[in-house]
Amino acid sequence: MKITEVKIIVCSPGRNFVTVKIFTDEGLTGVGDATLNGRELAVASYLQDHLAPLLIGRDPRRIEDIWQYFYKGAYWRRGPVTMAAIAGIDTALWDIKAKAANMPLYQLLGGASREKVLCYTHAQGRDIAEAVEAVGKRKEQGYKAIRVQVGIPGLPDVYGTGAKSVTNNALDDAVPHEETWSTSKYLRYVPELFKAVREAHGWDIELLHDTHHRLTPIEAARLGKDLEFARLFWLEDAVAAEHQEGFRLIRKHTTTPLAVGEVFNTIWDARLLMEEQLIDYIRMTTVHAGGVTALRRIMDFASVYNVRTACHGAMDMSPICLGANLHLDLWVPNFGIQEYSGYLPQILEVFPSAWSLSDGYLHPGEAVGHGVDIDERLAEKYPYQRAYLPVNRLEDGTLWHW
């Protein structure tokens, strides 16, 4: 079998996506997600100008060799752009291989380890009352696990609580939207949020919270301790993920479970955290970790240290990434949970998917391959529009983590 054509499709059905589509001489095609929120065209060019020409004529079944060729063979390795580009190709190749084997991808990985995939979704509010109500709505929809975020009094808008939180960036933003942050206001308020949520909704629901990289280790330790009463499923991105040693300090002070990794793009980014069991969940996902080949390796490494998987699944991960994640989620023995923030209707029209959601659980479906495709004609109706993730500043103007 030979690769005959590689298409890089950039479209924007409500937010920007980068998709790799690989064609073969036996008529099989495969698709992969290569979306990097806010820097999409960098990945598209890396693919179009550097990797796609090297794929023509190669055997698409040699997935591992192609992965190594584009990783080690690049000399300049790692990083979000490189690994998203490799991910798009790798995911498309696994799609082709599973189609050639006439089976769903999870069967090729080793078969199902569970009947269904537990997921968590998002609930947020501009204030505590709104957030409590949003959790109730998600419970009614059948979710068993809910991430809760809230606006902080005195701050104009906070991560995960504004209209932009739906797509993580607004297509009408010609420059990054600037948010204002105060750690002290946040640290005082969040325990009140979870007191109210537990009082209103009890204990038969898993609650999660995303601090989004904004605290120092001692601040994260304090928040973890202050939230122990709420028995969170996890506290996510408590400190900037690069500061792996900082998790040692947090771990010393609190038993609140910790999750990190959505911004990581190689196993080396997470090695220390997992070896020292400084985290409980690894958030790496197919599109940012370098594809199925790489994420499977990371998941196996995590299993050695009792770290469970928790693939990132916000809306800037395309339905293709979610689909590929779900095949890994169904197979992986040390599964934790899958994020699912839902998609705008037009996104699901552009990316017809075999995966399904029912009563708080997802399933990849039994379609051959990873079960997701792209409707190229429809995608053309949504041309790329430059858009940025927000940036964050402290009240004195200091640029801070968003």
Among all residues, which ones are annotated catalytic? 159, 212
Structure token digits, residue 30: 């495969």
DSSP per position, 322-387: HHHHHHHHHH-TTB--EE-----HHHHHHS-B--EEETTEEE--S-SBTSB---HHHHHTS-----
d(CA 222, CA 242): 20
Q: How far is the CB of 210 from Mg ion (least distance, A)?
A: 4
Sequence letter at residue 353: S
Rule CB under 6 A: say whether 314 interacts with ligand CS2. yes
Shortest Cβ contact with ligand CS2: which residue? 314
Binding ligand CS2 (rule: CB under 6 A), the pick from 112, 155, 249, 389 is 389
Residue type, 308: R
CA distance 269 to 306: 17
State yes or no: residue 344 binds ligand CS2 (CB under 6 A). no
The residue count of the chain comes to 402
Indicate the residue among 316 and 373 with the shorter CB distance to ligand CS2.
316
**Could you tell me the smallest distance in angstroms from the CB atom of residue 382 to Mg ion?**
25
Q: Which is nearer to ligand CS2, 250 or 314 (CB)?
A: 314
Please name the amino acid found at residue 16. N
Q: Is 373 in the site for ligand CS2 (CB under 6 A)?
A: no
210 is a contact residue toward ligand CS2 (CB under 6 A) = yes
Any alpha helices (H) in 110-226, and if so which ranges?
A: 128-140, 183-201, 217-226
Range in contact with ligand CS2 (rule: CB under 6 A) among 214-222, 308-316, 322-330, 353-361: 308-316
Residue 296 interacting entry, from Mg ion, ligand CS2, none, C-beta within 5 to 8 Å by type:
none
Does residue 293 interact with ligand CS2 by CB under 6 A? no
Site residues for Mg ion, window 51-110 (CB under 5 A)?
Answer: none
The interface region with Mg ion, picked from 65-73, 107-115, 178-186, 205-213 by CB under 5 A, is 205-213
Among 316, 319, 351, 382, the residue binding ligand CS2 under the rule CB under 6 A is 316
Based on the shown chain and the rule CB under 5 A, indicate whether residue 269 belongs to the binding site for Mg ion: no
Residues 165-204 close enough to bind ligand CS2 by CB under 6 A: 168
Question: Any idea what the Cα angle at residue 374 is, between residues 287 and 138, rounded to 5°?
Answer: 65
Closer by beta carbon to Mg ion, 63 or else 274 = 274
Closest CA to 214 of 179, 254, 163, 251: 179
HSE-CB at 70 with a 13 A cutoff on CA atoms is 29
Q: For the CB of residue 282, give the shortest distance to Mg ion in the complex, in Å.
A: 12
Between 10 and 220, name the residue whose CB sits nearer to Mg ion.
Answer: 220
262 interacts with ligand CS2 by CB under 6 A? yes
How far apart CA 83 and CA 306 sit, in angstroms, is: 25
How far is it, in rounded angstroms, from Cα 35 to Cα 18? Answer: 5
Of 206 and 210, the one with the shorter C-beta distance to Mg ion is 210
How many chain residues interact with ligand CS2 (CB under 6 A)? 10
Residue numbers 63-102 binding ligand CS2 by CB under 6 A? none
Instruction: Count the Cβ atoms, other than its own, within 10 Å of residue 346.
Output: 15
Binding part of the chain for Mg ion, among 29-37, 163-171, 207-215, 330-338 by CB under 5 A, reads: 207-215
Please identify which residue in 40, 95, 210, 329 interacts with Mg ion, judged by CB under 5 A.
210
The closest alpha carbon to 80, from 389, 324, 344, belongs to 389
